[in-house]
Homo-oligomer: A and B are copies of this chain.
């Protein structure tokens, strides 16, 4: 395996799906956490000026979703068949849509503005339900009894299903009550020793 350096801030955010891919695949990588103090000096050196940024043997890859899919392909976590690959990508796109909606609103609730908070919650729940309905529909097409999201094997879809709901569930523990299939996949992933080991050592950050 080549040598990997993942550059991201000292947070989970858009870096964590990549870190989880490394952890679950059991592939070592340099977890370069850029502090807010360092960032202004580092930003001009990063192509596109945003993080995450992945270096693979000196070759740089930008765009968070491209980085995740690249790692998933390298680690054989992108789905076995062409249709599996499409389903993995569909699930992850819905999860990212949901996560973006959360991070751009409800993750930072307004103080002393009940009306605004109520509106943000409603908007987010509409998005979450739309995304979960689509994911649930795709999970139902999987005829394998192994319990993974797509096909017979662990894929990036399972990892992303775990990660995307982490913060959401900490503030709204009931959001997946209507989606037992999604819960089941998340539990299946959480039963992996490699994931448990990673989580037990993971630095605690707010996001």
Contact = CB atoms under 8 A, between A and B. Distances in A.
Interface of A: 47-48, 56, 59, 61-63, 65-66, 69-70, 73-74, 82-83, 85-86, 89-90, 93-94, 130, 134, 137, 141
B48 A70 contact: no
Contacts of A89: 63, 65-66, 69-70
Contact of A63 (B56, B63, B93): B93
Nearest to A70: B86
Chain A interface main SS type: helix
A134 B141 CA distance: 38
B62 A83 contact: no
Given A93-B65, A93-B66, A82 B86 contact: no
B83 A59 contact: yes
A48 B138 CA distance: 11
6 contacts: A47-B137, A62-B90, A62-B134, A70-B86, A73-B85, A74-B82
B74 A90 contact: no
Given A48-B130, A62-B134, A65-B93, 9 more contacts: A47-B134, A61-B90, A62-B90, A63-B89, A63-B90, A66-B89, A70-B86, A73-B82, A74-B82
B48 A66 contact: no
Contacts of A94: 63
